[in-house]
Amino acid sequence: MTEATLVEAVGLALACAMEDDETVLLLGEDIGVDGGVFRATADLIARFGAGRVMDTPLSESLFAGLAVGLGAQGFRPVVEYQFMGFIYPAIDQILNHAGRLRNRTRGRLTCPLVIRAPFGGGIHAPEHHSESMEALFAHIPGIRVVIPSSPARAYGLLLAAIRDPDPVVFLEPKRIYRALKEDIADDGIAAPLDQCFTLRAGRDMTLVTWGAMVVETLAAAEILAAEGVEAEVIDVATLKPLDMAAILSSVERTGRCVIVHEAPLSGGVGAEIAAGLANRGLVNLLAPVQRVAGYDTVMPLPRLETDYMPTEERILRTARRVLAYA
């Protein structure tokens, strides 16, 4: 067993995948000699060589296109973008090529590509460094979107993403990169994609969340438990395709649901979950579904960042309002 932080777990998973499969290649700005902005790829160039850990030019669209070509020709490229806000020049390649290749060739070609990026706020970074735009990628057909919330899940989910035959956007919540450590077996066993994780069982309400917001949501659930309210906490983990069945099953038992995410409120994945509950779980609801989210504005850096992000207090206030319905 190895005790690791989330960012260290990412590095362990990358090394494991590269050891097991010589077609796994890493591409990105400063990932080789410097080991990446957050050191996720530290020492990998020394271990696997510059032919497999490649420092790229400062051209996000260029190396996204290169990765699509590599994926189509038998490799398994893993691309790192330094921050989520730097991915946008590559959306043309992701949307028009990576996500469409299987359909375009009627299955003759696939694109086993992983795009990694630190995302989310909470570290007082400059503009473009604190984005939480996961809904953009969840809207693209053919793209799987995965967000880990702990070191162990980061390890297992990244291995699963690399082994998947289709493109995966793998977003890493940098606020909790080094916030906690877990024991990781480093045994090469992947975690299941396309499934929610139930982090806490409960009977009175369901709290649905993902990424760094798992921390505040679990903390709120602890306070509610002290008040006699047992909240079930679900980590969505794979936002696309969404494991709606697990969420519906939970809400069928609890009758109440609060969705927590850092991204802006409008058009978010939380709205998709709420729509699914309205469409397929309405008869089980004892109260309206509520969302606790970021605001429909650019992250107000640096001084108002903590006011923008959902807090334990906001989650509790919303949960108590939902519980107040008869």
Residue whose token pair is 């480093």: 186
The verdict on whether 97 is a catalytic residue reads: no
Strands 205-209 and 197-200: unpaired
Residue 297 is classified by DSSP as: S
Residue 175 is classified by DSSP as: G
Give yes or no for a contact between 115 and 79, defined as CB atoms under 8 angstroms apart: yes
β-partners of residue 55 are: 28
- Length of the chain equals 326
Neighbours of 313 (CB within 10 A): 11
Tokens of 222: 């602890």
Q: Determine which one of 97, 124, 128, 129 is catalytic.
A: 129
223-246 CB burial, b ≥16 within 10 A, e <16:
ebeeeebebbbbbbbbbbebbbeb
Residue 21 is classified by DSSP as: -
Rg, Å, the chain Cα set: 20
Contacts of 49 (CB under 8 A, 6+ apart): none
Neighbours of 298 (CB within 10 A): 12
Task: Please report how many Cα atoms fall inside a 13 Å half-sphere around the Cα of residue 72, on the Cβ side.
Answer: 19
Q: Give the catalytic positions in this structure.
A: 129
